[in-house]
Structure 1
Amino acid sequence: MGPAVPLPLSDEWDDDVDSYIDALLSFATTTPLFLNLCGGVHILDFLTSDPDLYTTLLPEDWRRFFDQHELYDILDLLLKEDVAHFPVEEDNHTIKGSSWKNGPPPPPSLVRYIRDIRRLSLKRKVTPPPTRPSSGQASAIPRRVAVGMKSKKLHEVEHFSKYVDSFATNVSQTRDEPVTHIVDFGSGQNYLGRTLAHSYNRHIIAIERRHAYIQGARGMDVHAKMAEKKVNVVKKRMQSNANGPDDDGDDASAQACESCPPQGGEEDKQQNEDDVTVFKVFSELDINQDDLPSIVNTSTHKPKEEENRGPRGAMDYIEHEIKDGYLEPIIQHVVDPTKTEGDSTETHGETSNDARVVVVSLHSCGNLLHHGVRSLVLNPSVVAIAMVGCCYNLMTERLGPATYELPVLRHMHQRLAVGANENDPHGFPMSSMFEQYAYPGGKGITFNITARMMAVQAPYNWSVEESRNFFTRHYYRALLQRIFVDRGTVPRPKLANLDALIGGDNNNDDDEPLIIGTLRKTVYETFPTYAKAAIAKLAKNPVHSEKMTRLNNEITTEDLEKYVADYAYAKKNLSLVWTLMAFSSAVVEAIIVIDRWQFLREHMASGLVRECWIEPVFDYAESPRNLVVIGIKN
């Protein structure tokens, strides 16, 4: 039932998935410039060394070319323009009379790099393209169900709910048995589940770790007329002897996800618990003590006024922190909540209930997506998955620091050598192939947090105004860091020693991070107003208070303006490097997403998984994290 080619590849690969993966991993582990741009440099270090990072990072012929062209022309060359007509061999570079944009043509090495990034990136266009309501046209989702959704969320939910319903129907036909439930991992405000229940009559199990989100979602159910305003509370406690997999991981991913906004973005406001008046059934179910410490189940029943309007789906809200993707006790409890410990007859690979579940996720953060993918192989009741991830920076790492024997880390500050929860069995990479992949000087694919943060950029969606604003913010922050170094507020950065990194010695006690966080937009009108606001904010932190207060008293507006004059040239250079980082990180995202698919592919060899593929499901312009990972069990 899947596409003929399981990955959305550029045409040149001619459906040869294995050759593509070989080329992808080879490029990502043996190309020094890519490794520098994707994890080897940090904007904070841009101006703190002599010569600066721009000079030491980029080839001389690239810099000469960049010097002779406008910034936004170069951005178009990287992101939009067809480069097929440019020569890629050095001896063809000086074709008589050749030019581009009233200046020299791009050097062949730059053209080759652009071509490599594009050919190794995954296609992001949906076929057929998703429809979008024209001006004044109503969405297919009723307004009362779409409450709280902004344009982006409405686009995602409208198209993904349709996709999931069609997918679940096809799974039923392929397996010749009905899909009884759809589990939504990290359901948040349950926009997706509510739409699937209302418009497609699906029975949803919405799993969310934050009680306030569930309360808010139930309030929206009432607004959507999918739940009664009547309250009836019943409590009971039960034990289960379900023997799930051992949980030897921690809850790092779940805690990290607390920093992410709800699925609907900032517009999602939590409903007051006193205002939520739906029929509620709370149950607590202990599973192997440490595995599933608490489950709160809230079933939403359709109100009487809906009963005569045709069939409607149902929703069960489960308050639970997912640690490893093991869901069988939850599924059994939803299917038959009357079971007690003595009633459970689950054995490894078998289950006594008739549930056949599709697990879905709409932008689950970090490792939560990994848990969703693993749910296909951990749970007998789960027959298929459709997972869309995001927030790659919140993933943990299975492997240690990179051990490249290449001139890749020569710019690397110690901060870039530190990973996030390395050696976490639930982290990246998932697949054995990516874990065991051998490259010059090392084994195993790994990306630090800087590379993973860049992978969530969407450079193809940048407008001139948006890019100008964040170029300015990055330039101001890099310039302020230079002031901190010059004034002795922070020590001059020590470049990471390659031997020390390979040996795992990444400590730098002298380098206390300076986290400025969010500032008012108005402070970015000039560098002096930004610098004064940032220093004042840092002075409120007891760790930095003494140094920052002294700097605030010493430095004048004239001093700050002189820095702007002295480093005015650097703004374009920094903007170019940032764009190259974002452009290159499409390869990082491809590797992360394909690793999840490869994990499922490896289970096809054992006969557990029947099919798996990746395809785009949203309009990239509306939602850049638009790749869904699909798996169907035999």
Structure 2
Amino acid sequence: MAPPNPLPLSDEWKDADEYVSALLSFTTESVMFMNLCGGVHILDFLTRDPDLYTSLLPEDWCAFFEHHDIHSILQLLLREDIGPLCEQAETNTTDRSWNGSAFPPVSLLEYIRNIRRLSLRREFTPDKSQSLPRHIVVGMNKKKAHEVEQFSRYVASLSETIEESRGEPLTHIADFGSGQNYLGRTLASAPYHKHIIAIERKHQYISGANRMDVHARLAKDEKKKFMHNAKLAKLKKPKKQKNQCDDCTDTPELASPENPDVSEIKVQAQSEPTETPQEEAIGQVEDDIFSDTLGGMSLEANDILTSVEHKPPVFKPPPEVDSRGTVSYIEHEIKDGYLEPIIEHVVDPKTPVESRTATDEVVTQSENKPSDPRVMVVSLHSCGNLVHHGVRSLVLNPSVVAIAMIGCCYNLLTERLGPATYKIPILRSSHPRLKQTGSSWDPHGFPMSKLYEEYEAKTTKGVKLNITARAMAVQAPYNWGHADSEGFFTRHFYRALLQRVLLDHGIIPKADVPKDLYADDPENPESGIALIVGSLRKSAFVSFTSYVRAATVKLSQDPLRGDEVKKRVCTMTDEELQGYETEYLPTRKNLSIVWALMAFSSQVVEAAIVVDRWQFLREHDSVKECWVEPVFEYGQSPRNLAVIGIKK
């Protein structure tokens, strides 16, 4: 099942070793790449002096960008065939043009070519032969349904391949960070019928997953349900006759063909209040109408006395539970890759294990012979270090024989080698989170492999990616449409402009260029204080005024500077805020260009992270095969690269 090439590379690479060497060289030596991926921050765009845009980009790049709008630039970065452009660039003719205007600089074309050739390929052809049944897909949106459908099919196929090569079946599949257990529930259901160990630290997720298991026919509903039937209760309740007086105990009989001698029963009516002549006239008219209506009806006595037959309600039996696949939930916070205690908890060696032969004869193993669990560890978009724990589980646990891990949220990874020490000009201000994450020295963090740890570069030792670079790696620029990109650019422009407002009104100090991004600055202690806006509603981005009003609601709650925000920013008029937007609107295009370059370059950051995980497996003798491949469509879910490992 392993692909011919262990990494999804472009055709120009001869083998994986050549690619890895070029990847590490580029990520540690390209000044432009290191600045765009971790060396600049959007918050500094309108607060730095000199201007960040001209400090970051070469003059010929800036001159070229002046002649093209942002969407033409995105077309060049992402989709334009630059092969013919590179050939034209080698000629010395001066009449070259692109898209009806200025021709791209040679250095820009070379940078685009390097980013594309070092990015991992994402092409995937989905299998749409059979979609998930409705009782399984409950709770999933379109994106999640696509991920679960394709990855569950991949995991099932991989498990069959492993069973054939090892000559023994896998006993369980462990899902790291199972969440609502969409993947595990699908694998436990038809047609896969796998035995799942769902490991999740949040109790509310497990409770919700248990309820969905009932709907998916994997478990019985333990709750006793009482269904009230109003019609049945009404039949059982004795009725009191309307015309029966207090002294009567028997139900009066009515005249019928069977009882012709029954006389008319006279019931004394209760005394009513005296009616006015007007009320009597109205009542007489109503009686006449009622009499005329009844006079036109032809009814027999049997018609009146015919009783209505009430049938008891028919309840549908609950759907039969499919017990061929099982789910075992473990509430546990995973802090490393050692899983043996959890596996032993689910698969107790002392408990007799029943198995069925081809003739359905039950065979009970001896209690003295311990069971031999063989587990595959899987993960669908586990955040941060959780994927590192899953990858390490293959080499730490005798029971784990294979892994299939898909990561996401690279910004939540920790750093193992300490602060980055690249000797390049610093173009960003200091930030407390940059110091905190860069100085964590977490043994479970990035990088995992010895190759990355001991790599000798011209500017540093070891491959290091700070939180800004890793946060950019979750971008998906190839999924951007016109409206999407405009929305991104507007949001970042408003946030950068708000930072300028905060600076002008003395809420934050002017950002200096530090000599060391990770060192404390005793001369400017306030540089380590960050104001975080967080997420806002879409209505906040209608205009800059709306954005400031919504953002200052959050900023005014800051314990250190909230009062200053209320006094100096919340009191600004709409005209003042509109003046800021008008003054700095020309910088929006420049900011958009930098953001587009950052998102485009971040593909190499993701490639470096994924390759590090593959390289870690490659360095262990106990691993028989390991590779990386896309397992669902990038357009549906851009974090589609799975790291696969199989033990010898």
> CA, structure 1 residues 415+10, in 2 after alignment: closer, same or farther (shift >3 Å)?
farther
Residue 164, structure 1, aligned to residue 181, structure 2: no
- Return the match for 1:205 from 157, 179, 197: 197
- Return the match for 1:565 from 576, 579, 582: 582
Residue 215, structure 1, aligned to residue 214, structure 2: no
Q: Structure 2: which amino acid aligns with 1:3?
A: P
CA distance, structure 2, for counterparts of residue 571 and residue 181 of structure 1? 53
What is the match of residue 12 of structure 2? 12
Residue 357, structure 1, aligned to residue 369, structure 2: no
- Return the match for 1:193 from 175, 184, 194: 184
Kindly provide the CA deviation profile for residues 187-231 of structure 1, in whole angstroms up to 9, marking residues without a partner as x. 000000000010201000111011110000000011112111136
Cα shift at 1:149: 0.3
Residue 430, structure 1, aligned to residue 448, structure 2: yes
CA distance, structure 2, for counterparts of residue 412 and residue 451 of structure 1? 15
The residue matched to 2:569 in structure 1 has which SS? helix
The residue matched to 1:69 in structure 2 has which SS? coil
Aligned 8 A contact 1:387 1:629 in 2? yes
- Return the match for 1:319 from 318, 331, 351: 331
Cα shift at 1:105: 1.1
Task: Calculate the aligned-residue CA RMSD, in Å.
Answer: 2.3
TM-score by length of 2: 0.80
CA distance, structure 2, for counterparts of residue 125 and residue 574 of structure 1? 31
Cα shift at 1:411: 3.7
> CA, structure 1 residues 132+46, in 2 after alignment: closer, same or farther (shift >3 Å)?
farther
Aligned 8 A contact 2:136 2:216 in 1? yes
Larger Rg: 2
Kindly provide the CA deviation profile for residues 428-456 of structure 1, in whole angstroms up to 9, marking residues without a partner as x. 00001101111113211111111000000
Matches within 5 A, 1:235-634: 306=320, 312-336=324-348, 352-407=370-425, 409-415=426-432, 417-420=434-437, 422-497=440-515, 500-501=516-517, 504-505=519-520, 509-511=525-527, 512-603=529-620, 606=621, 608-634=622-648
What is the match of residue 264 of structure 2? none
- Return the match for 1:142 from 126, 133, 143: 133
Aligned 8 A contact 2:388 2:445 in 1? yes
What is the match of residue 62 of structure 1? 61
Residue 97, structure 1, aligned to residue 95, structure 2: yes
Aligned 8 A contact 1:429 1:446 in 2? yes
The residue matched to 1:485 in structure 2 has which SS? helix
Q: Structure 2: which amino acid aligns with 1:509?
A: P
CA distance, structure 2, for counterparts of residue 534 and residue 338 of structure 1? 60
What is the match of residue 130 of structure 1? 126
What is the match of residue 114 of structure 1? 112
What is the match of residue 39 of structure 1? 38
Cα shift at 1:501: 4.5
Aligned 8 A contact 2:52 2:427 in 1? no
What is the match of residue 28 of structure 2? 29
CA distance, structure 2, for counterparts of residue 91 and residue 154 of structure 1? 48
Aligned 8 A contact 1:384 1:630 in 2? yes
CA distance, structure 2, for counterparts of residue 464 and residue 506 of structure 1? 42
Cα shift at 1:352: 4.6
CA distance, structure 2, for counterparts of residue 518 and residue 414 of structure 1? 19
CA distance, structure 1, for counterparts of residue 432 and residue 475 of structure 2? 21
> CA, structure 1 residues 228+110, in 2 after alignment: closer, same or farther (shift >3 Å)?
same
Cα shift at 1:478: 0.2
What is the match of residue 2 of structure 1? 2
Q: Structure 2: which amino acid aligns with 1:41?
A: V
CA distance, structure 1, for counterparts of residue 326 and residue 216 of structure 2? 13
Aligned 8 A contact 1:88 1:108 in 2? no
**Sequence identity of aligned pairs in percent?**
57
Cα shift at 1:170: 0.4
Most deviating of 521-530 and 203-212: 521-530
TM-score by length of 1: 0.81
Aligned 8 A contact 2:505 2:569 in 1? no
Aligned 8 A contact 1:532 1:552 in 2? no
Q: Structure 2: which amino acid aligns with 1:230?
A: E
Aligned 8 A contact 1:86 1:108 in 2? no
The residue matched to 1:306 in structure 2 has which SS? coil
Q: Which runs of 5+ in 1 are unaligned?
A: 134-138, 233-273, 276-302, 340-350
> CA, structure 1 residues 602+505, in 2 after alignment: closer, same or farther (shift >3 Å)?
farther
> CA, structure 1 residues 501+411, in 2 after alignment: closer, same or farther (shift >3 Å)?
closer
Aligned 8 A contact 1:185 1:372 in 2? yes
CA distance, structure 1, for counterparts of residue 372 and residue 521 of structure 2? 52
Kindly provide the CA deviation profile for residues 533-556 of structure 1, in whole angstroms up to 9, marking residues without a partner as x. 212321122322221011135422
Q: Structure 1: which amino acid aligns with 2:556?
A: A
CA distance, structure 1, for counterparts of residue 521 and residue 466 of structure 2? 13
What is the match of residue 250 of structure 1? none
Aligned 8 A contact 1:180 1:355 in 2? yes
Q: Which runs of 5+ in 2 are unaligned?
A: 227-316, 352-368
CA distance, structure 2, for counterparts of residue 419 and residue 57 of structure 1? 25
Alignment length, in residue pairs?
538
The residue matched to 1:439 in structure 2 has which SS? coil
Q: Structure 1: which amino acid aligns with 2:594?
A: V
Aligned 8 A contact 1:207 1:320 in 2? yes
CA distance, structure 1, for counterparts of residue 219 and residue 327 of structure 2? 10
Aligned 8 A contact 1:455 1:588 in 2? yes
> CA, structure 1 residues 337+515, in 2 after alignment: closer, same or farther (shift >3 Å)?
farther
> CA, structure 1 residues 118+227, in 2 after alignment: closer, same or farther (shift >3 Å)?
same
CA distance, structure 2, for counterparts of residue 410 and residue 203 of structure 1? 52
Cα shift at 1:472: 0.4
Kindly provide the CA deviation profile for residues 157-207 of structure 1, in whole angstroms up to 9, marking residues without a partner as x. 000000000000101111111111100110000000000010201000111
Cα shift at 1:559: 1.7
Q: Structure 2: which amino acid aligns with 1:332?
A: E
What is the match of residue 86 of structure 2? 87
Aligned 8 A contact 2:77 2:112 in 1? yes
CA distance, structure 1, for counterparts of residue 605 and residue 533 of structure 2? 27
Cα shift at 1:532: 2.3
What is the match of residue 151 of structure 1? 142
CA distance, structure 2, for counterparts of residue 101 and residue 453 of structure 1? 32
Cα shift at 1:417: 4.5
The residue matched to 1:438 in structure 2 has which SS? coil
> CA, structure 1 residues 505+91, in 2 after alignment: closer, same or farther (shift >3 Å)?
farther
Kindly provide the CA deviation profile for residues 523-577 of structure 1, in whole angstroms up to 9, marking residues without a partner as x. 2111112112212321122322221011135422222122112111111111111
